[in-house]
Amino acid sequence: MCEANAYIVKDEREELVMESVDTVEPEEDRKSFRLVSIFGEQKIIRGRIRLMNLVDHKILFEKNE
Amino acid sequence: MCEANAYIVKDEREELVMESVDTVEPEEDRKSFRLVSIFGEQKIIRGRIRLMNLVDHKILFEKNE
């Protein structure tokens, strides 16, 4: 499976938000994203995308300025 | 491998921008993204993320409003 793990970067530390993320979709406000895992779990994360490395299965978010 | 294909959605049609994308990183202007494929190919795409489906290996971009 090709899901990824989502992290929020705080003070240059990566904090796991959700494992096995399948879907990433911006919310209407454009200041947060809806994450859905392959298990159907959902989470809204406030922030913006900092970096995605799909081969490393990583999506990094950071706080909006 | 867990790379994805990047598309830009124009008039609800998906137009392939790059295959086998590994890295997606926002540019300084926050209005475009740098894509890097697993082959090292690079492209800058103007627009914002509309939807990512990692299990389907799909990243959809759309034009900024």
Give the span between the Cα atoms of B26 and A20, in whole angstroms. 22
pTM of the model: 0.94
Question: What per-residue confidence (pLDDT) applies to B22?
Answer: 97
Question: What per-residue confidence (pLDDT) applies to B53?
Answer: 96
Cα B63 to Cα A2, B23, B30, B45, distances in angstroms: 26, 20, 12, 9
φ and ψ of B57, to 5 deg: 60, 45
Chain A nearest-CA distance from B4, in A, is: 7
Q: Tell whether the model's pLDDT for residue A65 goes beyond 80.
A: no
Question: What per-residue confidence (pLDDT) applies to A2?
Answer: 80
Give B-chain residues touching A2 at CB under 8 angstroms: 2, 4, 54-55, 57
pLDDT tens digits, A11-58: 999 999 999 999 999 999 989 999 999 999 999 999 999 999 999 999
Give the span between the Cα atoms of A45 and A64, in whole angstroms. 11
pLDDT tens digits, B31-57: 999 999 999 999 999 999 999 999 999
Whether A58 has its CB under 8 Å from any CB of chain B: the answer is: no
Give the span between the Cα atoms of B49 and B63, in whole angstroms. 9
Q: Tell whether the model's pLDDT for residue B65 goes beyond 90.
A: no
Whether B16 has its CB under 8 Å from any CB of chain A: the answer is: no
